[in-house]
Amino acid sequence: MEMIWDWKSIGSLLATVIFLRSAVNDFVPHELRNFLRSLFARLYSSLRPSSTVIIDEFEPSGGDNELFEASQSYLSWRCLSSAPVLRLCKPRHSRTILSSLPSAHSATDYFNGAQFDWVFHSVDKPSAANNIFARSSSSEHRYFDLSFHRRYKEMVHSHYIPFILEEAARLKDKSRERKLYTNRSIASPGELWSSVPFHHPSTFDTLAIDPALSDSIRSDLLRFSARREYYARVGRAWKRGYLLHGPPGTGKTSLIAAIANFLEFDVYDLELTSVTSNSNLRKLLISTSSKSVIVVEDVDCSLDLSDRKKFKNLIHPGSNYGGVDECVSPASAASPFATVNLSGVLNFVDGLWSSCVGERLMIFTTNHPERLDPALLRPGRMDRKIELSYCQPAAFRILAQNYLQKEIVEGCQLEMTEEAEGLLKEVTMTPAEIAEIFMGCDGDAADVGLKKVVEELKRRSRKVVQQSSNGGELLERGGTEDAKVDLKGLVEGKPL
């Protein structure tokens, strides 16, 4: 019998459905209806071959959903190359181009032989007060649909999702772009730091310092960065202070860059004379991020952080190392408007840290350690005092190998290399001075570079002999008489 559908029969069918629906609502108990509903849902999902997981941008309480962020970076790396439509963006100052899915577009991923289909959605949020996403400031509700065959449900929860989280964390570590923050050229008064990407090529491999010192600094840094629980357990802020001291051109700045590259930390270059009050100093420090190195270069020249007792009656300011970058007097070098003082600096080194979560390394540099107040140098503030001195034979070998060719330095020119190393035991030359000579003689001219360094060392050696035969002091090592200023106590790890 042929069934004929006309408007009349459709109308009576609808009327029957409405009647049955209201009859069920009126006569079937609420519990039974719920039971039937879940029975139908289960039946429907067992007939459907695929399952879907929804990953929202925010968790119901309004906080960020880390899985959403992880999914974004995972997809960006893993399967967006297969997506038919892509959205690309390069954030300002970033080297990386970020790719993402436009709304309602999909990408496919394969994991352990299973296929996973990802669809990104971005829909306008309803403004209803009971909207669970209302706490987030965005006006969009963004989420991923992850669909897969239902037989992979277990795999998704126990393997695929953990894999996405792990990969995203790995990618984050890899792509973390270090920044150099400075308060030297603040663009607007509201801005505390201006930042640029940090690309300094110095590493522990390029640094010409005593290999034992290099190893000990590296292991100290690794130990420090792995001790989050330890610092929490003993109730100390997770920070460490280094004082780098030595003559100009011995690699203090290069060491800071090598440390930042080694730890993959951002660098905050703090110019104390641009800070107008102790409370501004505190604000600046509170606004630094974790995993950062906060640097105060030439601290003795920035402000009067001098040893209050020692300098009370000392007329001759002097220098331990001599050198060219003399600052007449620490106090007079400070800006007339600067009101940051020693107590502000000490408070910032001690006090602020408790309000910051995450590890921070604080590095002060100076050519005049004897000018600093012992309070600043005590362990707990400056945990390590590292002296970078004139080029020693072992450091010379590293420098020569880096700038010239290893085969030349340790091969046909070994004799000249050893001659230079022998001379460096008697006279001084900074790594910067030697590097400058090498810079002009790289490649084939390596032997010329070595020859020039040997000649310069011999010239200095003759000068020393001449001076001592004239009855003068041996001035070359240390540069000036002030080299005799007592530095005992400034050995590593001990306060002055």
Residues making contact with ligand ATP (CB under 6 A): 207-209, 248-254, 325, 367, 399, 431-432, 435
Which residue is it, tokens 């940051």? 340
Residue nearest to ligand ATP as judged by C-beta position: 251
Q: 462-484 b/e with 16+ CB inside 10 Å = b?
A: eebeeeeeeeeeeebebbeebbe
Closer Cβ to ligand ATP, 100 or 430, answer by number: 430
Selection from 303, 297, 365 nearest residue 329 by Cα: 303
Closer Cβ to ligand ATP, 253 or 273, answer by number: 253
Strand order in the sheet with 384-387: 194-197, 179-182, 266-269, 292-296, 360-366, 239-245, 384-387
Q: What are the φ and ψ backbone dihedral angles of 294, each rounded to 5 degrees?
A: -105, 120
Closer Cβ to ligand ATP, 107 or 435, answer by number: 435
Q: How distant, in Å, are the alpha carbons of 23, 130, 387, 431 from that of 210?
A: 91, 65, 11, 12
- Given CA atoms 370, 372, 373, 375 in this order, what sign does their dihedral have? negative
The least CB distance from residue 308 to ligand ATP, in Å, is 24
The least CB distance from residue 318 to ligand ATP, in Å, is 17
Q: What is the maximal distance between C-alpha atoms in the chain?
A: 132
Within 111-160, residue ranges assigned H as helices are 153-155
The least CB distance from residue 272 to ligand ATP, in Å, is 16
The least CB distance from residue 391 to ligand ATP, in Å, is 7
Closer Cβ to ligand ATP, 394 or 432, answer by number: 432
Q: What are the φ and ψ backbone dihedral angles of 4, each rounded to 5 degrees?
A: -110, 120
The least CB distance from residue 336 to ligand ATP, in Å, is 24
Closer Cβ to ligand ATP, 250 or 302, answer by number: 250
Run of H or E including 81: none
Closer Cβ to ligand ATP, 155 or 267, answer by number: 267
The least CB distance from residue 395 to ligand ATP, in Å, is 6
Q: Which two tokens stand for residue 478?
A: 């240390």
Residues contacting residue 489 through CB under 8 Å, at least 6 positions apart: 495, 496
The least CB distance from residue 258 to ligand ATP, in Å, is 9
The least CB distance from residue 252 to ligand ATP, in Å, is 4
Closer Cβ to ligand ATP, 254 or 292, answer by number: 254
Closer Cβ to ligand ATP, 70 or 386, answer by number: 386
Residues contacting residue 185 through CB under 8 Å, at least 6 positions apart: 194
